[in-house]
Copies of this chain bind each other. A is one copy, B any other.
């Protein structure tokens, strides 16, 4: 009997940031097919209220489930922080993996001082989901969480290194990591709690102490997905690209996040 091609893995984000997660997923699961949906018409989610994020997230999931996915990856910290429960209630039969639990696991594993800093969008940080997820794993952990809103716009503009990126990173991060040099007084681990932020890792690295470990959830999320799947597919899978607006912009900005830029013709625009 010839092997039947399996249903793809659905991945969604408010826009292009989730492409950093997709990249890690394809690296960990090269044989799988993916459908990526960026809700570019309504981005960013990070400054929106939790109710609105839940509503939009359910619409994104509906669109992917209608396309017959077998697993759903929420490649957006804001959605993972606000809407994972609502998504799992609506689709109890589909494995749904967010990025916050894997990110928290990576942080707790990386930290020796149990003093962890988390940066993200206003929505992710304001909701306190990372702090809660880290404390579930290590109730004694100290967590400092700060929004870094401008990083999103900088990543989308492609200003990911150089003097301006470092100045912005310094303004956000210096208050977290300034200390009198006493070990343990500042965090030893920094969680990039927004899928846009990994592209700024160089600028972030340049302005924090060398001893601080930077973790992002892309790789641990990919590992969590891998653990869900029996017998990952061999070969090289394909990606189907969906967005809710602006194929040209999506294609142009994708290069920063994906490593290689898409063509606008590759992207199907859908209405949610």
Contact = CB atoms under 8 A, between A and B. Distances in A.
Interface in A24-62: 40-43, 47-49, 52
A161 interface: no
Interface of A: 40-43, 47-49, 52, 122, 149-150, 152-154, 156-157, 159, 163-164, 167-168, 171, 245-246, 249
Contacts of A49: 245-246
18 contacts: A40-B47, A40-B48, A41-B48, A41-B52, A42-B42, A47-B246, A48-B245, A48-B246, A49-B245, A49-B246, A52-B246, A150-B157, A152-B153, A159-B171, A163-B167, A164-B164, A164-B167, A167-B167
Q: How many protomers of this protein does the assembly include?
A: 2
B249 A122 contact: yes
Given A47-B249, A150-B157, 10 more contacts: A40-B47, A41-B48, A41-B52, A42-B42, A47-B156, A149-B153, A150-B154, A163-B167, A164-B164, A164-B167
Contacts of A42: 41-42
Nearest to A151: B153
A246 to B, nearest CB: 5
6 smallest CB-CB distances across A and B, nearest first, come from A153-B153, A52-B245, A164-B167, A49-B246, A150-B153, A49-B245
